């Protein structure tokens, strides 16, 4: 059978297996109603269908009914208890192939049919697997089929073996193990696990890190944690007791406790540890206790100024962008694009155009990785691949007035597990005035200055202990920026004052019994560039010193030391790093389209605003990651675009790192990027780029990491793409005449007026200017506020008291139910 080759590999209903605590679910103090934004044009509609919009509830329901009817031989159950049951984990849109979409966008063909991508838990010959299928075309008809989906996975298969099918059993076993050694934990840690009450504020929790998974062998280290119920600070409440486990058998009765580790000493058995504790010279480590130091809020302090509210942005005359909420289509100041969502990767944008010309076909996150280092059994090899937990599924409601301005437009996040789910107000769109001018210049006779505004599409994904704020920003000149900020609790290491901890080697002591734990955040994005069309090429423009001679310099200067530009075409698929001293510019040009001055139309890729250049992974050939994240080894990659290479990663890579279903190294295989060398290559390039930080946490990260210290971004800047700066058409600004007689300075105020422009009373004629009169003093370009405005309180500080308090199921980064459907109550 043939089916459209499309799939953005996501398993956002996933979460099993990484080293982390059975952290309990945190509460979210407000719910669905966001403060309404001013009404937009009722007649604005997208010119084209959004081919990337998620399945509707009706489509998902049809798919589920079809599966239960057509896949009867699988004995699918609607109420799974573990990974050995056959059931539908989730379904979502199978995004169409670009080769199927482009003819529709250019009015040469009808829209391609819609398909669903389905993830099934399936047991074959007693072994549990997770399998991908394509179901379509939709709506369901006699033409609809269910086919294995494997073309877009370079492992050549549509499945990954599930290493721990009995996830609930594993959770219970870990807590029971801790409870069975309560005599030890009470003496060493002052608390015991309570398997009967997961919300016990005094009960210990467990976190596990897989050490080895191969050929049916699964070895873990498990660490004990305080719960942090009051502050959700579980990840900074590790305790100093660790136990090694062998959970290789499918029968939990055969799982084994291997050895214990405490204060730098290994104990081969539980009895050995008990015997050691009874010795008079046994040294107790301090306990890492919760307290006010983990509080995220301070309701008592009153430094000068806190009694006043902060400044806020307002939008009293409505939005300047246009939004088709049904089609999720946005238009602003020459930009147009479609919004799409995914359970695993959150928000992506498609068909981004500027002033009618194509710029980027697809822009979206691929994976978010955090890799730790340390000298204890947990931090020594801990890593996360966060799409496994569902960065789209973990997009929660945004807070108007805090996450986004009160006037923002809000969109929901929809996904489909055992039933369709909607998280309201989880995407916001708004225009915002920057804290700096876009352009200014002062001459002898006048000053011209322009306001800088951006359109921002924002979402926040909470994955366990971290909240990631991800922005797509658009600038008036055609620039696009992708920015990530992180906040939340760090994942700390236990600090034994007299133990083997090498202070300063992996972090710093930041409280009584914890130290920071150095780690790399590397967050990968895909940018499928179509600069004025699909035929693009990548150039490195070197800025290099040179020595030369000029006839007009001689004889006084026989040789001149200067610099020049040198182009280096990228001829093969490659990974490259940001250049030293910004000594090269990375440019994507259209192969043959020129601007009015005969220069190739292009865009520049450059580090944007944030804490320095975005990094790549420090660790070489990570023993924990295996082949699951080779994209993290360089700052950016330039590859040929292929329908069979849709993503840099797949969430299931997390549970099969040595043999991932998507191996990025097989994608970046040095194929030619020259159309002259391969007649089948049309010049369609994809750039995979990384954001993130080398996070060396310190006392400033207690209690939470701050967003302005964790920001990174990449910008795409027009480079000869336009004939001149296009922002002149859309920017708002003012031109002020100066008094040239007495040198630079404002025109002297009239009698009785002050020189403060904010308080000066100006006539309408002066405001708008008289073109034919040399006496014009102030001339605005773009609209101004000519009269005072009246604002409702909600425009300044949205009321949140009316929100219905409800609990959000935040991924707890542990052996929980995220991989297998909704988290259980």
In a domain, 776, yes or no: yes
Q: What is the pLDDT of residues 683-719, one digit of tens each?
A: 999 999 999 999 999 999 999 999 999 999 999 999 9
In a domain, 527, yes or no: no
Q: What is the pLDDT of residues 202-227, one digit of tens each?
A: 899 888 888 777 777 888 899 999 98
- Is pLDDT at 431 greater than 50 in this prediction? yes
Alpha-carbon span 340 to 348, nearest angstrom? 5
In a domain, 157, yes or no: no
Give me the pLDDT at residue 174, please: 83
* Domain count within the chain: 1
Residue 650 known to be catalytic: no
- Is pLDDT at 2 greater than 70 in this prediction? no
- Is pLDDT at 361 greater than 50 in this prediction? yes
Decide which of 39 and 30 is more confident.
39
What lies within 8 Å, CB to CB, of 762 at 6+ separation is 778
Q: What is the pLDDT of residues 468-502, one digit of tens each?
A: 999 999 999 999 999 999 999 999 999 987 655 55
What lies within 8 Å, CB to CB, of 630 at 6+ separation is 663, 664, 665, 668
Residue 391, SS3 per DSSP: coil
Alpha-carbon span 63 to 69, nearest angstrom? 10
In a domain, 564, yes or no: no
Question: Domain span at residue 752?
Answer: 733-781
* 233 burial type by CB count under 10 A (0-12 exposed, 13-18 middle, 19+ buried): buried
What residue has token string 């804290």? Answer: 435
* Confidence label for 8 from pLDDT (cuts 50, 70 and 90): very low
* Confidence label for 825 from pLDDT (cuts 50, 70 and 90): very low
Alpha-carbon span 426 to 420, nearest angstrom? 16
Q: Alpha-carbon torsion 477, 610, 521, 23, what sign?
A: negative
The whole-number average pLDDT for the span 302-306 is: 93
- Is pLDDT at 256 greater than 70 in this prediction? yes
Distance set, CA 790 to CA 430, 743, 794 (Å)? 21, 40, 12
Give me the pLDDT at residue 172, please: 79
Q: What tokens does 312 get?
A: 């806020």
DSSP labels, 266-328:
EESSHHHHHHHHTSTTPPPPPP---SGGG-S--SS---TTTTSPPP----TT--SSEEETTTT
Least confident of 285-299, 323-337, 575-589, 712-726: 285-299
The whole-number average pLDDT for the span 541-557 is: 95
Phi and psi at residue 265, to the nearest 5°: -120, 135
Please report how many Cα atoms fall inside a 13 Å half-sphere around the Cα of residue 759, on the Cβ side.
7
pTM: 0.90
The whole-number average pLDDT for the span 91-115 is: 97
Q: Are 548 and 559 in contact (CB under 8 A)?
A: yes
- Is pLDDT at 379 greater than 70 in this prediction? yes
Alpha-carbon span 367 to 47, nearest angstrom? 31
Q: Are 245 and 222 in contact (CB under 8 A)?
A: yes
Residue 351 known to be catalytic: no
* 264 burial type by CB count under 10 A (0-12 exposed, 13-18 middle, 19+ buried): middle
Catalytic residue among 376, 386, 409, 471: 386
In a domain, 511, yes or no: no
Please report how many Cα atoms fall inside a 13 Å half-sphere around the Cα of residue 163, on the Cβ side.
26
DSSP labels, 148-181:
E--TT-TTS-SEEE-S-S-HHHHHHHHHHHHHHT
Mean pLDDT of all residues belonging to the chain: 87
In a domain, 757, yes or no: yes
* 464 burial type by CB count under 10 A (0-12 exposed, 13-18 middle, 19+ buried): buried
- Is pLDDT at 249 greater than 70 in this prediction? yes
DSSP-assigned beta bridge partners for residue 340: 348
What lies within 8 Å, CB to CB, of 2 at 6+ separation is none
The whole-number average pLDDT for the span 771-778 is: 56
In a domain, 322, yes or no: no
Alpha-carbon span 713 to 419, nearest angstrom? 36
- Is pLDDT at 752 greater than 90 in this prediction? no
Phi and psi at residue 222, to the nearest 5°: -115, 135
- Is pLDDT at 448 greater than 80 in this prediction? yes
* 59 burial type by CB count under 10 A (0-12 exposed, 13-18 middle, 19+ buried): buried
Least confident of 30-39, 149-158, 498-507, 563-572: 30-39
Give me the pLDDT at residue 526, please: 98
Catalytic residue among 3, 225, 338, 466: 466
In a domain, 106, yes or no: no
DSSP-assigned beta bridge partners for residue 546: 562
Decide which of 31 and 272 is more confident.
272
Torsion of CA 349, 42, 111, 142, to 10 degrees: 110
The whole-number average pLDDT for the span 150-179 is: 86
Alpha-carbon span 394 to 808, nearest angstrom? 9
Give me the pLDDT at residue 644, please: 96
Q: What is the pLDDT of residues 60-92, one digit of tens each?
A: 999 999 999 888 888 899 888 777 889 999 999
Q: Are 290 and 230 in contact (CB under 8 A)?
A: yes
What residue has token string 């025109």? Answer: 747
Give me the pLDDT at residue 26, please: 32
């Amino acid at each position: 059978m043939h089916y459209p080759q499309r799939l953005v590999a996501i398993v956002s209903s996933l979460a099993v297996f990484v080293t982390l605590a059975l952290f309990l679910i945190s509460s979210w103090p407000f719910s669905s109603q966001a403060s309404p934004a001013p009404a937009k044009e009722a007649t604005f509609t997208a010119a084209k269908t959004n081919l990337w919009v998620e399945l509707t509830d009706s489509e998902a329901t049809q798919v589920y009914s079809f599966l239960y009817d057509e896949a009867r031989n699988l004995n699918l159950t609607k109420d799974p208890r573990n990974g050995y049951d056959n059931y539908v984990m989730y379904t979502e849109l199978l995004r169409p192939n670009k080769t199927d979409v482009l003819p529709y966008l250019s009015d040469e063909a009808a829209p391609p049919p819609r398909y669903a991508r389905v993830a099934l838990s399936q047991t074959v010959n007693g072994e549990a697997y997770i399998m991908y299928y394509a179901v379509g075309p939709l709506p369901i008809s006699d033409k609809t089929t269910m086919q294995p989906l494997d073309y877009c996975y370079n492992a050549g298969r549509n499945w990954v073996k599930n290493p721990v099918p009995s996830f609930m059993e594993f959770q219970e076993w870990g807590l029971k193990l801790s409870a069975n050694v309560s005599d030890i934990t009470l003496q060493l840690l002052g608390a015991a696990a309570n398997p009967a009450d997961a919300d016990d504020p005094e009960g210990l929790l467990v976190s596990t890190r897989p050490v080895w998974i191969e050929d049916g062998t699964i070895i873990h280290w498990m660490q004990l944690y305080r719960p942090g119920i009051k502050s959700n600070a579980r990840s900074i409440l590790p305790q100093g007791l660790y136990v090694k486990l062998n959970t290789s058998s499918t029968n939990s009765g055969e799982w084994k406790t291997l050895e214990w580790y405490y204060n730098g000493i290994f104990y081969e058995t539980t009895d050995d540890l008990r015997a050691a504790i009874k010795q008079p010279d046994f040294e107790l480590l301090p306990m890492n206790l919760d307290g006010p130091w983990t509080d995220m809020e301070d309701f008592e302090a009153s430094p000068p100024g806190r009694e006043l509210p902060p400044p806020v942005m307002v939008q009293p005359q409505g939005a300047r962008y246009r939004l088709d909420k049904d089609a999720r289509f946005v238009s602003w100041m020459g930009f147009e694009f479609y919004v799409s969502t995914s359970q695993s990767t959150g928000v992506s944008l498609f068909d981004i155009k500027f002033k009618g010309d194509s710029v980027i076909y697809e822009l979206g996150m691929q994976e978010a990785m955090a890799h730790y280092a340390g000298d204890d059994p947990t931090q020594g090899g801990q890593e996360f691949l966060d799409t496994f937990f569902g960065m789209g599924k973990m997009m929660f409601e945004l807070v108007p007035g805090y996450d986004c301005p009160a006037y923002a437009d809000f969109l929901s996040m929809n996904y489909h597990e055992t039933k369709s789910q909607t998280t309201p107000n989880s995407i916001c769109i708004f225009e915002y005035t920057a804290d700096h001018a876009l352009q200014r210049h002062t001459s002898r006779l006048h000053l011209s200055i322009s306001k800088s505004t951006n359109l921002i599409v924002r979402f926040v994904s909470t994955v366990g202990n971290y909240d990631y704020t991800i922005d797509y920003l658009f600038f008036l000149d055609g620039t696009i920026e992708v920015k990530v900020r992180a906040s939340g609790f760090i994942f700390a290491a236990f600090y034994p004052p007299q133990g083997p901890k090498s202070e300063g080697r992996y972090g710093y002591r930041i409280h009584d019994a914890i130290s920071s734990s150095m780690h790399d955040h590397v967050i990968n994005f895909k940018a499928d560039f179509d600069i004025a069309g699909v035929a693009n090429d990548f150039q490195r423009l070197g800025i290099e010193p040179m020595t030369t001679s000029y006839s007009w310099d001689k004889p006084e200067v026989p040789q001149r030391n200067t610099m020049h530009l040198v182009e280096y075409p990228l001829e093969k698929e490659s990974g490259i790093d940001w250049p030293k001293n910004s000594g090269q510019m990375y440019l994507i040009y259209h192969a043959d389209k020129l601007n009015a001055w005969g220069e190739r139309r292009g865009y520049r890729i450059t580090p944007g605003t944030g804490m320095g250049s975005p990094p790549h992974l420090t660790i070489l050939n990570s023993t924990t990651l295996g082949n699951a994240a080779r994209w993290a080894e360089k700052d950016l990659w330039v590859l040929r675009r292929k329908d069979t290479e849709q993503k840099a990663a797949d969430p299931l890579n997390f549970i099969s790192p040595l043999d991932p279903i998507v191996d990025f190294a097989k994608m970046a295989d040095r194929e030619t990027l020259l159309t002259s060398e391969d007649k089948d290559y049309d010049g369609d390039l994809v750039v995979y780029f990384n954001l993130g930080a080398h996070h060396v946490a310190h006392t400033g990260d207690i209690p939470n990491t701050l967003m302005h210290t964790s920001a990174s971004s990449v910008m795409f800047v027009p480079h000869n793409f336009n004939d001149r700066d296009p922002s002149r058409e859309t920017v708002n600004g003012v031109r002020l005449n100066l008094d040239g007689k007495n040198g630079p300075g404002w025109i002297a105020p009239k009698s009785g007026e002050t020189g403060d422009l904010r308080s000066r009373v100006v006539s309408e004629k002066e405001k708008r200017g008289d073109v034919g009169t040399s006496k014009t003093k102030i001339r605005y370009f773009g609209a101004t506020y000519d009269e005072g405005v009246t604002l409702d309180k909600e425009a300044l500080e949205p009321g949140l008291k009316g929100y219905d308090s409800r609990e959000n199921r935040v991924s707890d980064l542990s052996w929980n139910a995220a991989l297998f459907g909704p988290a259980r109550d």
